[in-house]
Amino acid sequence: MQAEVDGRHLRDTELIAFLVLLFVAGNETTTNLINHAVRALVLYPSEQRRLRERPELMPAFLEEVLRWESPIQGFYRRARKDTEIGGVQVEKDQALLVLYGAANHDPAKYECPAEVDGARFAEETGTRDHPAFGAGIHYCLGANLARIGSGIAVGLLLERFSEIKELEGFEPGGWARRSSAGRRAFVVSVTAR
């Protein structure tokens, strides 16, 4: 490894810690994005049909899924200085829970935020104005990897199965954890080509 921080190479322990961070940050999040995308396809069959007809909409569809059910609902942060957010005074060193998931359901910004809205991914570009990957200098390092990987996975599912639909009588479980949003269980019925 050639990387240096402040003129010195990373120690082995730092490298290993970074690798662990990459595995943790990249694994469950991407798994949950794929899961949410499949759930969106099942709950909104007309959007599934549209995506089958226009596979070029996949990147924009995934942005809407990221907004709809953000795989990371929130992170703790500490204020570095006194500030004001949305009319609320925040003091230096105060702990904050920044809820990306709540921002992504802000009715002032998104009409019918709890719905997957085909209009929001009607064009190939879609919208990346959601904070599902955070913002600023700590913006997710793996955002584009997650986008590419999930697009391939969901695209392959659509290719291999002519229909993906709800399994009758199956109740999807609640979220397994609060911070990392993924269902405990979600089973679908598929028709192989």
**Residues of the shown chain interacting with ligand HEM in the complex, contacts defined by CB under 6 A:** 21-22, 25-26, 29-30, 33, 71-72, 75, 100, 132-136, 138-142, 145-146
How would you classify the pairing of strands 83-85 and 75-78? unpaired
> Which residue, 137 or 192, is less far from ligand HEM as judged by CB?
137
Give which of 172, 163, 174, 188 is closest to 48, Cα–Cα. Answer: 163
Rounded to a whole number of angstroms, the minimum distance from the CB of residue 89 to ligand HEM is 22
Rounded to a whole number of angstroms, the minimum distance from the CB of residue 24 to ligand HEM is 9
Written as six digits, the tokens of 191 are 């028709």
Written as six digits, the tokens of 49 are 């049909």
How far is CA 22 from each of CA 40, 135, 146, 182, rounded to the nearest angstrom?
27, 18, 12, 19
**142 φ, ψ (degrees, to nearest 5):** -105, 15
Rounded to a whole number of angstroms, the minimum distance from the CB of residue 175 to ligand HEM is 14
Rounded to a whole number of angstroms, the minimum distance from the CB of residue 146 to ligand HEM is 3
Give which of 73, 79, 71 is closest to 29, Cα–Cα. Answer: 71
